[in-house]
C-alpha cells in the first residue's frame, strides 16, 4: 500500500496508529494543537500539521481536520478513539470529500450512536436486551412515560442520553422522585455534551459483569469475532483494567455471546473493526449494551491473545481489502491484562494531576510485556487533555502467570512527578478476589481497601531512591 493517512488524534493512540501506517509502507500525517507541540506523536509522524491554539476545540473541528487532510494530500483519515471517532458528521464529511474514513460508514455510526435506533436494530434481529424505552417525549408526557416504566420494572433504572457513549450521559435513578427531578437535568447535560437532548430509560442490571467482543467485518460479508474481553473494573462507567479472555467461568456462554456479537454486527451492516458490548447478570443471562464504532482503548489485550493486529486490519479493510483469515484461524492463546497508568490520585477520587512535570520516567519491560504510551522524562502533563500516560499490557500462558507478570511490571515502573494509578493497581493484583476472577462492575465500591496504601514519598525522595538504585548497579543516572 502506498497511501497517505492522516491521524486525527493525539497521545498514545496516535502513536499506535502511526506505527501501523508506517508498517504498511504508508505515509503518516499527524495533526496537533499548540499545547501538544512537544508531543511524541508529532516527531514519529512523517508530516505534521498545526490545527490551532486549542485546547481540544481544534481536534474537534471537522473543517480544520478535513482541510489538513486535503492540504497534505491524504487519501484517508484514521480517527482513533475519542474526539471525532464516533461523530457521523465527520465520517460524512470525509465521504463527501472523497477521503477514506477508516471505520464504518456515517450511516452505521449514526444508527449505532443513537441508542434507541440501535436497540430497535437489535430487537429486530432477536438480540437479547435489557428492557428499555424509546426516546422519552418532551414535557409532562415524557415524565409520565418514565413513571410508567419505573412502575412496571421497578427501581433502580438508568437514565441515558440517546447520543451518549463512553460512559458519558448516564445516571442511576433510585426512585420516582429522583426520576422526575433528573429528567430535565439529564436533557440539559445531553444537549450541552452531544447537541441532542434526547434521553431514554433502561432497567438496571444489578452488579453485572461487563463483557465485550471484538469484531472485524469486510466488504465481502465476512464477519469474525476475536474473542471476549472483560471490562468490569470501572470507575464512573470508565474502564480501568481490561482482561482477555473474560474470566466468566462458563465457556459455552462466552461462545454464545461471541456468536451473538457477530449476529449483531451483521444486523447493523457493520464494516471494519468494532466492539459489541454486553452485560451478564448473576444468573448468567446476557444482554446487548451497545456497539462501539471505533478502535477501543483496550484493543491491546485482544491483540496479545490472538496475535492479530487490529489496527493494521482496520486500515486494510477501509481500503477494500478482504480479511485474509477465517474464524477457524482465530485462536485464543493464554491471558492478557491491560492497565491504564494515568496521572491521577486514586485516593482523591482519581483527581487528574495535569500541570505536573515527569522528572523521572523509567518503564518496565521483558517477556510478554507491551507498552503503549507517549510520556517521557521531562514531559509536562497538559491540564487540558485526558490523564492517560501509558497503557501497560502483559501476556502469560496461564492466568496466574499473567497476574504475577503484571505485579512485577508495576513494581519495576518509576514515574516521578505526578501521582499515578500504579500503587492502586498493585493492591488490585494482590487482591484475592481479583486473582480468582471474582469481580463485576461494583468491584471498586465493594473493595475499599484497594485505596489503602502508603502515600508515595515526595519527588525528591523518590528521585534519590532511584539514583541510589542506579548507582548500586553501576550505571550512570544522567546518561541518555
The catalytic residue positions are 294
DSSP states of 34-59: GGGTT-HHHHHSSEEEEEES-SSTTT
Which residues lie closer than 8 Å to 458 by C-beta, 6 or more apart? none
Contact 254, 245 (CB under 8 A): yes
Start-end of H helices in 220-308: 251-267, 299-306
Three-class secondary structure assignment of 204-236: CCCCCEEEEEEEEECCCCCEEEEEEEECCCEEC
Contact 46, 28 (CB under 8 A): yes
Start-end of H helices in 53-194: 62-72, 88-96, 106-113, 115-124, 140-153, 176-194
DSSP states of 352-388: E-TT-B--EEE----TTEEEEE---TTPBPPSSS--E
Decide the pairing of beta strands 4-7 and 47-52. Answer: unpaired
Which residues lie closer than 8 Å to 211 by C-beta, 6 or more apart? 228, 229, 230, 231, 232, 246, 248, 254, 257, 277, 278, 279, 280, 286
Amino acid at each position: 500500500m502506498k497511501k497517505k493517512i492522516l491521524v486525527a488524534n493525539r497521545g498514545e493512540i496516535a502513536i499506535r496508529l502511526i506505527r501501523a501506517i508506517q508498517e504498511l509502507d504508508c505515509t503518516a500525517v499527524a495533526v496537533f494543537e499548540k499545547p501538544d507541540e512537544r508531543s511524541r506523536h508529532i516527531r514519529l509522524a512523517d508530516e505534521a500539521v498545526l490545527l490551532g491554539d486549542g485546547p481540544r476545540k481544534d481536534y474537534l473541528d471537522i473543517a480544520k481536520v478535513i482541510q489538513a487532510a486535503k492540504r497534505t494530500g491524504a487519501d484517508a483519515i484514521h480517527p482513533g478513539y475519542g474526539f471525532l471517532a464516533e461523530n457521523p458528521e465527520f465520517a460524512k464529511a470525509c465521504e463527501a470529500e472523497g477521503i477514506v474514513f477508516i471505520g464504518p460508514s456515517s450511516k452505521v455510526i449514526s444508527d449505532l450512536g443513537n441508542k434507541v435506533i440501535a436497540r430497535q436494530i437489535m430487537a429486530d434481529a432477536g438480540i437479547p436486551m435489557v428492557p428499555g424505552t424509546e426516546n422519552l417525549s418532551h414535557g409532562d408526557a415524557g415524565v409520565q412515560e418514565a413513571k410508567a416504566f419505573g412502575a412496571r420494572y421497578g427501581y433502580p433504572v438508568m437514565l441515558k442520553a440517546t447520543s451518549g457513549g463512553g460512559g458519558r450521559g448516564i445516571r442511576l435513578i433510585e426512585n420516582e422522585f429522583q426520576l422526575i427531578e433528573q429528567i430535565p437535568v439529564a436533557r440539559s447535560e445531553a444537549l450541552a455534551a452531544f447537541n441532542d437532548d434526547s434521553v431514554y430509560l433502561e432497567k438496571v442490571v444489578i452488579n453485572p459483569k461487563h463483557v465485550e467482543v471484538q469484531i472485524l467485518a469486510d466488504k465481502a460479508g465476512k464477519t469474525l469475532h476475536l474473542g471476549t474481553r472483560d471490562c468490569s473494573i470501572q470507575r464512573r462507567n470508565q474502564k480501568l483494567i481490561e482482561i482477555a479472555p473474560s474470566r466468566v467461568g462458563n465457556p459455552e456462554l462466552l461462545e454464545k455471546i461471541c456468536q451473538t456479537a457477530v449476529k449483531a454486527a451483521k444486523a447493523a451492516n457493520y464494516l471494519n473493526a468494532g466492539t459489541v458490548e454486553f452485560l451478564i447478570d448473576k444468573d448468567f443471562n446476557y444482554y446487548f449494551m451497545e456497539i462501539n464504532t471505533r478502535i477501543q482503548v483496550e484493543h491491546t489485550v485482544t491483540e496479545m491473545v490472538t496475535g492479530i493486529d487490529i489496527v493494521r486490519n482496520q486500515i486494510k479493510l477501509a481500503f477494500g481489502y478482504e480479511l485474509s483469515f477465517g474464524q477457524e484461524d482465530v485462536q485464543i492463546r493464554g491471558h492478557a491484562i491491560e492497565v491504564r497508568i494515568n496521572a491521577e490520585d486514586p485516593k482523591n477520587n482519581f483527581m487528574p494531576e495535569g500541570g505536573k512535570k515527569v522528572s523521572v520516567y523509567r518503564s518496565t519491560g521483558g517477556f510478554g510485556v507491551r507498552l503503549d504510551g507517549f510520556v517521557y522524562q521531562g514531559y509536562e502533563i497538559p491540564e487540558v487533555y485526558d490523564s492517560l500516560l501509558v497503557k501497560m499490557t502483559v501476556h502469560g500462558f496461564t492466568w496466574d502467570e499473567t497476574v504475577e507478570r503484571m505485579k512485577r511490571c508495576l513494581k519495576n515502573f518509576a514515574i516521578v512527578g505526578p501521582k499515578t494509578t500504579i500503587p492502586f493497581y498493585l493492591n488490585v493484583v494482590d487482591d484475592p478476589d481479583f486473582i480468582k476472577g471474582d469481580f463485576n462492575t461494583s468491584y471498586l465500591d465493594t473493595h475499599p481497601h484497594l485505596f489503602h496504601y502508603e502515600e508515595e514519598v515526595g519527588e525528591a525522595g523518590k528521585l534519590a531512591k532511584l539514583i541510589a538504585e542506579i548507582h548500586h548497579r553501576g550505571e550512570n543516572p544522567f546518561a541518555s
